[in-house]
Structure 1
C-alpha cells in the first residue's frame, strides 16, 4: 500500500476529529476507544433497564407497585433492550469472524 495514502487517511481523521471538537488538535493518533466506550455505555444502560424492571416486578409482588401499566412497560422495555443487545452481539461476532476469515 502507498505510504502517502496512509498518511492522507490519518490526516483526514485528524481533521475530522479537530472539526468535531471545535478546536485544533495535534496530529497524534488517539487510541480507538469509541467502540469500547459505546459498548460500556450500552451495557450499563441495559443493566439499568433490567434492574428497573426487576424492581418493578418485586414491588408488584409485594403489593407496593403504584401502577401495573408502568410495570408492564418496564418489562417490555427490558425485553426489547435485551433483544437489541443480543442482536448487536450477534452482528459483532459475525463481523469478527468475517475479519478472521480474510486472507492477508
Structure 2
C-alpha cells in the first residue's frame, strides 16, 4: 500500500463519521454541502489510483523487456505495490457485492 493510500485513511474515517442518518439521500451520496466526498467519489478515486499504478507497472515492464532499466529494485517494488493494490481492490469489490446481495435478500 502506498503512502498516499495510507494518508487517505483518516479522511475516509472522517467522511464516514460525518454522514447523517439519511446516508442514502442525494446530498450525502454526492458529498453534500459540507464538501465531504461521497462514497461514489471515493470509489472512483480508488479505481483511478489503482489504474494509474497498473499503467506505470506496464510501462516499467516494457522498459525492462527492452533492457532500459536504471534501478531494477524500484521496478520490482512498484510491480508489487500495483499487484497488492489490485488485490485490495478486488477484495473490496467482493465485499461490496456480498453486502449488496445480503441487502437484496432482506425482506421488507
Q: TM-score, normalised by structure 2?
A: 0.68
Q: CA RMSD in A?
A: 1.8
Q: In the comparison of the two structures, how many residue pairs are matched? A: 79
SS in 1 for 2:27: coil
Which structure would you say has the larger Rg? 1
Q: TM-score, normalised by structure 1?
A: 0.70
Out of 75, 98, 101, the position equivalent to 1:97 is: 101
Cα distance in 2 for partners of 1:73, 1:47 equals: 17
Structure 2 unaligned segments of length 5 or more: list them. Answer: 1-18, 31-37
Deviant stretches of 4+, over 6 Å: none
Out of 27, 42, 55, the position equivalent to 1:30 is: 27
Cα distance in 2 for partners of 1:35, 1:66 equals: 39
Structure 1 unaligned segments of length 5 or more: list them. Answer: 1-11, 15-28
Relative contact order (alpha carbons < 8 A, sep ≥ 6): 1 or 2 greater? 2
Cα distance in 1 for partners of 2:58, 2:88 equals: 18
